[in-house]
Structure 1
């Protein structure tokens, strides 16, 4: 199963109520959380129809002890099953195969053969005789015997894997979740799996069932999440671990022969698997190798300590047990997968109970090197559902499943729809009262309180800001979608500073939605306060608190009134977007109206500079290649390229003649330790702009710096207070996220356990213009844009992941003495 693909995984609303409601919304835990938990803990398998069913228990002949996970197969076929944790098994045999011979294998025991005919009683208990043989002496050489054995296992695997091109099989999977006291949910599936050496893995769900407290849509049991521990590379919860039979495994693992046992008359080597690279995600545990064949019979492995997750996952422990069988043929194929583990989720104010999970998967009835349906690989999805599948058909096909344990039988009998996962894993902590409680919700829904907002269609939101020009601006925004393709919007508010109303409205019509292409046309009219320069990092609302705390003002402002028409296309090519618009606006200067702040400073604000007043009519075009453009202050990496051009001339009826160009690029590259869930990454950003003609003052570009002690991703961290401005400008910034690797290497475990990492960053910027002749006159005031005055160079380091949410940046200017300490949002992914 080399290169088997695996499955992948909020819309915030503005509250009109109290801060407590905001906190409640933020920490509200919904059913989606539990869907994600179920998906995270998922990994799979399938069944086969049968006409003759036998069942029983596999035991040790001498002691009577049951033998869990015994391998039971039908001779000369790829059919079989395994016993459950109590040694119980069920096997269906098509009548066309009768009479048949069962082969029962278990490491340390003699193989048992059992003839089965149509007259054989259904109950067939199977007893195995311990295999006591003299082990061959190990010949002492210069080479570790375990290394020699594993080298041969790797060589043999490369030989027989060359002949394995495709297969399909049937699988059955059962997964359960439990808390400290009992099982709280069970999901089961029957599916058909397909594998192609070149095209990978596909699965078709045939049937599933689950305990009554789980919705069918939340049943993620499926073999598409089943790792094959014989593979070169094994995906475990997003980490790519090097398999113990990878061609380079001897460079990454140490192997130690710890014991020998037997199966029939053949020696079975028990080999300890020890990671040799402490910074790479690898396995540790035990492998059982069959002598002469040099094949893996069984592995019992767990990921090393590198396989961890960022908060709120405090711990994630798993172990994997898998057996292999060649069914007397050439290829060693997985016949089961048993996974056990636990997850601890904890954050400030919320502490969830330990979530225990268990999975048992069984794969059977292989068809090797057969033709697979072309339709399977005409779609990207690896997991689909058969249109004839029945949700509860497992109830009548119990012979296709591995028997339930007694505890699982009781869970099916006792769990009803009221036994929700939310109740089973109810958290503690001072924020736990904000977690969803179904009973509380029903009680709240049944209340008769008056809520006038429920009678207003669409979305009505407050709109407010504070700055040195508007002073206090208070207003409302409204958006409604009366029809599927039509969106209407409006806004209004009042500025107490220069004592004018702002108002506006518009509409958008989606005229095309086909083949993932969205095409929209729209029109907007606005009379408002506009910022003199546009920042893709900050918006005016972000500066409200700094303004109230005495910041001298990051933005400058002017009054604009006019309309914009536009047409926009999204996804008309792979991740491509295009927008074309026409703008017609009147621009005029605004004065500074207030110097108020909470700290009682006086005259702390800069005056608001004048602009080039007049009528601006312009055409603009914005094109982009967007994989992940949405700005999130550096929580995740970005991948996008954006190009913008704006042209204004007297031929368009404009008072201005210019063409302005701007481009932005951001890209994230994985660098070191790419087998980890979150590899080291290099993030690079470029912003550049130029112009022709006579550029008005309000159309200059900016390079963002830190807004006070706050330094989000994408800015110059050693520049503070105001952005750099210019008619022409270029900026480059880069940072390398080493994550916790440096602290792991030097043994600073307290930092590693808190997921605190190291980031190194640097940047450079340069601006040009404008000259004094291009600056608008303003009586008794002299103002020059804040340019770089040469090249701004900076470098620094960050401690990332403080309290799981923040990063602390220490930035230094290289071109002149300056050291700044800032705080930003942590890089999480």
Structure 2
């Protein structure tokens, strides 16, 4: 019977919902408008509650409200409160009309006479608010409630999307918030999976600390709030015949993320009734965000009990995003949340906190009736006229990309990308000569004084979920040989505790004589073409490596064991070409210790973030490496090499900010036993030309320091924009220009001997003592770069270089 189009499907769905829907509870729905009795103006966010219960709602921006009252509570007292107005109450029973409008009379109050003392009266009031809060908060361990949330986005002209949800929320003093969505709906241009409306991640402004867009903002009721805020009594009004203090809030610390605005405090109870707060100017974001403005309004109610709980959250704000060549329309956002029907200190199910994440879906309700808000409109705060129009007019073609289309000279490239994505990107159209080849092909290329021009290709293919196959090939015009290789990785164990991989690779290639953990060979292509005499030295290696890798993802631990067998031989210098036509940049490529090298290596690490990104973000990892070669393995060499590397980032000052000040520390050290071959020496990296990425010695330029034994330490402290904020250089702050202080030291030892064929032509560069340096950086130039000014301390030297900005 469900095969007929449209109408049959709707009938089937209705029958299905009727069969699986939980038994309903008889409800009486009350609707109406709250207005000013004298002017007739509507009163938004009026507090409507059912007496002697934790049930209630708020009016929308047009003053309209809707409230469900279970029949089991009838007759019930319905009370409407609004600060500055006289409270109105009515009894609701089975025969009461559904339409219940309330016209509230303004309450006339006069400012009470204030006795002048040494203490600001607002400080006295807020001290008592903080003390009372600490008392009742000690007795509040858990709660459960029902919530409704509505989010909307708008551009300069109109609303462009709306998302809504109903949910049950849970809070535990120790474990925090959880939310279970029970239904949701959205405008036709938003997919259900893109509906993120929820209340659990919204701030409770009665908490000690409030998360605002990644900033940890001290609340106005924090135990230390009196040291961080200036409170001033502005006025007095009333509610329920009791005095309500209106207190102005301003930050007393200009470098800390804090609030400014107004709070309303109920006399005798010394409780917050309502807050209207904005984050101060410290709550800002790096470019391309040009401005970020938000306002938070929240009301609290104790429902005649001991605990003051949030009954709503209203957020309005806008974001302006702009960069060179692209200017996006103003993004306006609004969120309204209503919380009701609290249960205080219930026992919460352990299952709520067994899964990660704050928000879950109640599949028994939301999946079956994802649009149940339409059927139960009384559970929602009524839509405004503008929101009703958006629901009626927005269709699937009104995408957010169209609503926030940028302007500027680069905007056409954004449009072209969108058009290209829509023109057959999924059907294989366009010029793709190798589109039938499975896997991924990527080009490879470099230029140096040995390879001259190297051109090749890399191949990667994943025929099975756990198997990866790779290959490569290319040709060096300088010494006229092909490079080639291939291998595989098999992930043979994948559990919660351990991932295990086996692999094997064969290669015949040009290798760098020393390994840099900062630079890849392609990084030096442009410096080589501009006349640099060569950062790396090279040799030819051919052989294989087998390895096994174990990782413990949850504990960020890794261990790798490998066996390598390679033939090493020296390579000549083949070119001194550069784009400027100079010929004095020739540097001899030194010989290596030739022969068969067979080694066993072990690498162990603790990795929180070991991906190198030139210093854009901080790194946290520790790595130990041992490599052993001996005649017993069939090797022509007998040595053991040890190396350790460490990088860590520590937050220091202003940790309440989204991006606090940080101290980055790095360490690299190595030693050996036996007879270490020339191509196994370690290095301490310096700058390549004027380029100075994070992790190097910025006052060392040209070639790295080399040695059989080596140690280097570097550190930098990122003060971000704090120094310029402190001295009032607002133009630099507005451009997100920050200040970094850095320093470093390094020492290398050896080698005692080098290959005879190299000794007369080239000698490794060592530190010749301890290299000391210190400097300062301007970070965030054009949002992408940093300029480093480095000075040697052990000898006269001063260098200026450019690096990638520290963004996070």
Query: Scaled by the length of structure 1, what TM-score is found?
Result: 0.93
User: What is aligned with 1:331?
Assistant: 307
Q: Which of 444, 452, 470 is 2:451 aligned to?
A: 470
Q: Which of 499, 510, 514 is 1:529 aligned to?
A: 510
Query: Structure 1 residues 439, 539: CA separation in 2 closer, same or farther (over 3 Å shift)?
Result: closer
Question: What is the CA-CA distance between 1:225 and the residue it aligns to?
Answer: 1.7
Q: Which of 407, 422, 444 is 1:442 aligned to?
A: 422
Q: Which of 784, 798, 806 is 2:763 aligned to?
A: 784
Rounded to whole Å, the distance in 1 between the matches of 2:577 and 2:206 is 69
Question: What is the CA-CA distance between 1:444 and the residue it aligns to?
Answer: 5.2
Question: What is the CA-CA distance between 1:732 and the residue it aligns to?
Answer: 0.3
Tell me whether 1:750 sits opposite 2:726 in the alignment: no
SS at match of 2:139: coil
Question: What is the CA-CA distance between 1:219 and the residue it aligns to?
Answer: 1.1
User: What is aligned with 1:802?
Assistant: 781
Question: What is the CA-CA distance between 1:780 and the residue it aligns to?
Answer: 8.4
User: What is aligned with 1:16?
Assistant: none
Greater CA drift, 252-261 or 569-578: 569-578
SS at match of 2:447: strand
1:649–1:656 Cα contact (<8 Å) kept:
yes
User: What is aligned with 1:45?
Assistant: none
Question: What is the CA-CA distance between 1:509 and the residue it aligns to?
Answer: 0.9
Question: What is the CA-CA distance between 1:136 and the residue it aligns to?
Answer: 2.7
Greater CA drift, 443-452 or 153-162: 443-452
User: What is aligned with 2:565?
Assistant: 584
Tell me whether 1:826 sits opposite 2:802 in the alignment: no
Rounded to whole Å, the distance in 1 between the matches of 2:25 and 2:536 is 71
Rounded to whole Å, the distance in 1 between the matches of 2:136 and 2:779 is 47
Tell me whether 1:237 sits opposite 2:199 in the alignment: no
User: What is aligned with 1:685?
Assistant: 666
User: What is aligned with 1:69?
Assistant: 45
Rounded to whole Å, the distance in 1 between the matches of 2:711 and 2:289 is 41
2:770–2:794 Cα contact (<8 Å) kept:
yes
Tell me whether 1:184 sits opposite 2:160 in the alignment: yes
Query: Structure 1 residues 97, 605: CA separation in 2 closer, same or farther (over 3 Å shift)?
Result: farther
Question: What is the CA-CA distance between 1:153 and the residue it aligns to?
Answer: 0.8
Query: Structure 1 residues 438, 475: CA separation in 2 closer, same or farther (over 3 Å shift)?
Result: closer
SS at match of 1:261: strand
Tell me whether 1:482 sits opposite 2:463 in the alignment: yes
Task: State the Cα RMSD in Å.
Answer: 1.4
Q: Which of 147, 156, 174 is 2:123 aligned to?
A: 147
Rounded to whole Å, the distance in 1 between the matches of 2:759 and 2:301 is 90
Question: What is the CA-CA distance between 1:62 and the residue it aligns to?
Answer: 1.7
Give matches, 1:70-149, under 5 Å: 70-149=46-125
Rounded to whole Å, the distance in 2 between the matches of 1:58 and 1:810 is 65
Q: Which of 684, 694, 697 is 2:678 aligned to?
A: 697
Q: What per-residue deviation string (whole Å, max 9, x for no partner) do you get for residues 719-763 of structure 1?
A: 000000000000000000000000000000000000000000000
Question: What is the CA-CA distance between 1:216 and the residue it aligns to?
Answer: 1.2
2:111–2:235 Cα contact (<8 Å) kept:
no
2:150–2:197 Cα contact (<8 Å) kept:
yes
Query: Structure 1 residues 780, 752: CA separation in 2 closer, same or farther (over 3 Å shift)?
Result: closer
2:552–2:558 Cα contact (<8 Å) kept:
yes
Instruction: List, as ranges, runs of 4+ consecutive aligned residues in structure 1 with deviation greater than 3 Å.
Output: 436-441, 443-450
Greater CA drift, 58-67 or 331-340: 58-67
1:50–1:92 Cα contact (<8 Å) kept:
no
Give matches, 1:11-90, under 5 Å: 51-90=27-66
Query: Structure 1 residues 462, 153: CA separation in 2 closer, same or farther (over 3 Å shift)?
Result: same
Rounded to whole Å, the distance in 1 between the matches of 2:428 and 2:437 is 19
Tell me whether 1:422 sits opposite 2:401 in the alignment: yes
Question: What is the CA-CA distance between 1:779 and the residue it aligns to?
Answer: 6.8
Tell me whether 1:408 sits opposite 2:387 in the alignment: yes
1:133–1:265 Cα contact (<8 Å) kept:
no
Q: What per-residue deviation string (whole Å, max 9, x for no partner) do you get for residues 640-667 of structure 1?
A: 0011110000000000001100000000
1:100–1:115 Cα contact (<8 Å) kept:
yes
Rounded to whole Å, the distance in 2 between the matches of 1:242 and 1:166 is 22
Rounded to whole Å, the distance in 2 between the matches of 1:562 and 1:62 is 92
SS at match of 1:137: coil
Give matches, 1:194-593, under 5 Å: 194-388=170-364, 389-390=366-367, 391-435=370-414, 438=418, 441-443=421-423, 445=425, 449-515=430-496, 517-571=498-552, 574-593=555-574
Query: Structure 1 residues 799, 438: CA separation in 2 closer, same or farther (over 3 Å shift)?
Result: closer
Question: What is the CA-CA distance between 1:480 and the residue it aligns to?
Answer: 0.7
User: What is aligned with 2:617?
Assistant: 636
Tell me whether 1:732 sits opposite 2:708 in the alignment: no
Q: What per-residue deviation string (whole Å, max 9, x for no partner) do you get for residues 297-332 of structure 1?
A: 111000000000001111110000100101011011
Question: What is the CA-CA distance between 1:423 and the residue it aligns to?
Answer: 0.2
Rounded to whole Å, the distance in 2 between the matches of 1:555 and 1:261 is 76
Query: Structure 1 residues 75, 819: CA separation in 2 closer, same or farther (over 3 Å shift)?
Result: same
Question: What is the CA-CA distance between 1:179 and the residue it aligns to?
Answer: 0.5
Rounded to whole Å, the distance in 2 between the matches of 1:346 and 1:747 is 24
User: What is aligned with 1:664?
Assistant: 645
SS at match of 1:316: strand
Question: What is the CA-CA distance between 1:50 and the residue it aligns to?
Answer: 6.3
Greater CA drift, 569-578 or 547-556: 569-578
Rounded to whole Å, the distance in 1 between the matches of 2:123 and 2:640 is 69
Rounded to whole Å, the distance in 1 between the matches of 2:26 and 2:475 is 76
SS at match of 2:256: coil
Question: What is the CA-CA distance between 1:438 and the residue it aligns to?
Answer: 4.7
2:623–2:646 Cα contact (<8 Å) kept:
yes
Q: What per-residue deviation string (whole Å, max 9, x for no partner) do you get for residues 392-419 of structure 1?
A: 2222121110000000001011101110
Rounded to whole Å, the distance in 2 between the matches of 1:228 and 1:780 is 72
1:131–1:264 Cα contact (<8 Å) kept:
no
Rounded to whole Å, the distance in 2 between the matches of 1:242 and 1:737 is 23
Q: What per-residue deviation string (whole Å, max 9, x for no partner) do you get for residues 663-689 of structure 1?
A: 000000000000000000000000000
Rounded to whole Å, the distance in 2 between the matches of 1:524 and 1:604 is 36
Question: What is the CA-CA distance between 1:379 and the residue it aligns to?
Answer: 2.4
Question: What is the CA-CA distance between 1:519 and the residue it aligns to?
Answer: 1.3
Question: What is the CA-CA distance between 1:778 and the residue it aligns to?
Answer: 1.2
SS at match of 2:200: helix
1:49–1:400 Cα contact (<8 Å) kept:
no
Question: What is the CA-CA distance between 1:517 and the residue it aligns to?
Answer: 3.1
User: What is aligned with 1:646?
Assistant: 627
1:528–1:559 Cα contact (<8 Å) kept:
yes
Rounded to whole Å, the distance in 1 between the matches of 2:68 and 2:265 is 29
1:193–1:204 Cα contact (<8 Å) kept:
yes
SS at match of 1:778: helix
Q: How many aligned positions are there?
A: 780
Higher relative contact order, chain-length normalized (CA < 8 Å, sep 6+): 1
Question: What is the CA-CA distance between 1:240 and the residue it aligns to?
Answer: 0.5
Structure 2: unaligned runs, 5 residues or longer:
1-23
Rounded to whole Å, the distance in 2 between the matches of 1:536 and 1:229 is 47
Question: What is the CA-CA distance between 1:217 and the residue it aligns to?
Answer: 1.4
1:551–1:605 Cα contact (<8 Å) kept:
no
